[in-house]
Amino acid sequence: MHGRLKVKTTAEQQEAKRKEREKKMKLYNAATSKIFQKRQGQEYDQEALELTAQILSANSDFYTLWNYRKEIFLAFKDKSTEDELHKHFEDELSFLEACLKGNPKSYGCWEHRCFVMLTMPRPDWDRELMLCNKYLEYDERNFHCWDYRRFVVKRAQVTPEAEFEFTTSKISSNFSNYSSWHYRSKLLPLIHPDPKHPGGVKDDVLIKEFELAQNAFFTDPNDQSAWFYHRWLLGRADKQLAIDCVYVSRELRRVMVRLSKPAKIGADLSLQVYLDGVQCIGEWTTPAGTNDHSLLWLFNLTAPLDGNEHKVLVAMEGSSRSCTLKDGDEKASNVDEVKPGTLFSYQLSAATSDTLTQELDACQQLYELEPDNKWVLLTIMLLMRAIDPLKYLKETLEHIDTIIKVDPCRTNYYKDLSK
């Protein structure tokens, strides 16, 4: 028809595109080899910055080039005035922003930004915070940005309270956000520390957090993020690290301890062994021989144990337990008395047992609406076990059966839980 636009056909377009790509490829390769040459020759100049900028704006994941730029800036640092340097770094920040626009999840970019901010003479941390806000508005789950934000917050001296508010606003716009929930769990103990439990959170604040998590999982019980946060809230009264059991074997010349929770000796705590009042020197190892978190730890005594009575004392900060190997005995132990079935209830503190009951009630309500939701079932079981395992034994077992049917992939995990 008359007047109709004539447009290139697909084949023509493709050919044009292919040529275009080829041309770009040549330029890219030429620039790259030039850059490597310059780097080899330790040329730290404006041209190098320009060349790398060209490549990086097309491909911001090219680590080596970021490193080269770092070298260039460090070289500049030695020979420029503060103002010149500041200008260079300001330019670099805008360049980074342009790169991040194209690739907001580039490790290289964010990392380089940290370098710039730490190296530049007069960093503007508040502006960086705004930048983070902007990027988290585009994508509230960009963990690269969350990471960078924490880096900035430390230096911009933002109060934990303000950050807590920030997580609240992010959660209310979309609560499927692990980064926000996790950040909350780190901030709460700082803002509302519980004087009774180091690392804990005040009860009244906790109740509000429980409510928030409930709001999330009643809205969408299949969303894991709130359940994980809920679990963190429940598990916060983790029992104190203590020595639950000391065992001594005369023949093996060995001391074994069982801790109240898995820990890593040397990192989480230090344990000393005293044999008849004299400190022994030696290494702690796990039964598996690894050096990892463990409930059980072994210590080999260097001194031989003769047939007489010996007293072994194992001590840590704030707690100790001793065990007497009687004359002629092969072995001896000192175990904490534990009422059967209450072993796991220690996971949650008595102080919040009212809260636990309330949480159980809420979950039971949700269970009636969502009888097949694994997160509901799992949480109910955890709560029952925390409150009174014996009272709820029958129900717990039934729930185990259901949850295994609903989520067969984790059958063994649930079986372990039921033990």
Partner 1 sequence: MADDDLPREYDAIVLGTGLTECVIAAALARIGFRVLHLDRNDYYSSEWAVFNFDGMQRWIKQEQTRALEKEAPFSSELYQELLEDGEVLIPLPQHGTGTSNVVEKVFMKEAPADIVEVEDKTSKLSLASEAAPNITSQETTESSEIDSQNVDNLLQDSDKRFEESVVSETVSQGDHSTQSQGKDQPLTESEEQSENAKIGQEKNEENSVDVAESTGKVEEQQKSDKTEPNYDNVEFVVQESDHKAQGAGVKVAEKEPKKPDKVREWTLSELKKEWRRFNLDLAPKMLYSRGSLVELLISSDIAKYCEFKTVTRILTHLNGKVEQVPCSRADVFGSKAVTMVEKRMLMKFLTFCMEYEKHAEDYQEYQEKPYTEFLKSKKLSATVQHYICQAIAMSTDKTNTIEGLRRTKRFLQSIGRYGNTPFLWPLYGSGELPQCFCRMCAVFGGTYILRRTARALIMGKDNKCVGIIDTEGLRMKCNWVIMEGGLASEALLPENSRNRKSSRGIYITDKSLCTDDQDQITLMHLPPANGQTDPITVMELSPATYACPKGLHVVHLTCQGCNSAEEDLKPAEDLLFKPVEQVEPEPTDTRPRVLWSLHLNQMDNTGCDLNEKTPENVVLVAGPGASLDFEHSILEARQVFEKICPGEEFLPKAPNPEDIIFDDGQEAANGDSGFEADVNDEGADQEEGHSQDTDSEVDAGVAEEGSEWS
Q: Select 128 or 194, whichever has its Cβ closest to partner 1.
A: 128
Residue of 51, 65, 112, 163 that binds partner 1 (CB under 8 A)? 163
Determine which residue in the list 29, 37, 173, 333 makes contact with partner 1, applying CB under 8 A.
173
Closest CA to 381 of 212, 227, 200, 224: 227
Residue 200 DSSP symbol: -
When binding is defined by CB under 8 A, the residue of 90, 370, 388, 407 that contacts partner 1 is 370
In this structure, the dihedral spanned by the alpha carbons of residues 308, 309, 314 and 320, taken in order and rounded to 10 degrees, is: -170
- Asked if 158 is part of the footprint of partner 1 (rule: CB under 8 A), the reply reads yes
Q: Judged by CB under 8 A, which stretch of 210-218, 270-278, 290-298, 299-307 contacts partner 1?
A: 210-218
Map tokens 């023509």 to a residue. 12
Q: Is there binding between residue 13 and partner 1 (CB under 8 A)?
A: yes
| Residues 326, 282, 321: CA angle, nearest 5 degrees | 45
Q: Please tell me whether residue 369 binds partner 1 under the rule CB under 8 A.
A: yes
Q: Which of 129, 259, 312, 386 binds partner 1 (CB under 8 A)?
A: 129
- Asked whether 61 and 109 are in contact (CB, 8 A), the reply is no
Does residue number 343 form part of the binding site for partner 1 (CB under 8 A)?
A: no
Q: Tokens 């730029």 correspond to what residue?
A: 69
Of residues 221, 284, 348, 380, which one binds partner 1 by CB under 8 A? Answer: 221
Q: Which one, of 362, 390, 399, 414, lies nearest residue 216 by Cα?
A: 362
CB-CB contact of 177 with 140 (8 Å):
yes
Give the C-alpha distances (Å, rounded to integers) separating 316 from 242, 243, 259, 312.
8, 8, 11, 14
Task: Give the one residue of 174, 240, 270, 308 binding partner 1; rule: CB under 8 A.
Answer: 174
**Cβ 131 to partner 1 shortest distance, Å:** 11
The whole-angstrom separation of Cα 324 and Cα 247 is 9
Part of the chain binding partner 1 (CB under 8 A), chosen from 39-47, 83-91, 236-244, 363-371? 363-371
Contact positions toward partner 1, by CB under 8 A? 1-8, 13, 129-130, 133, 138-139, 158, 162-163, 165-166, 169-170, 172-175, 214-216, 218-221, 362, 365-366, 369-370
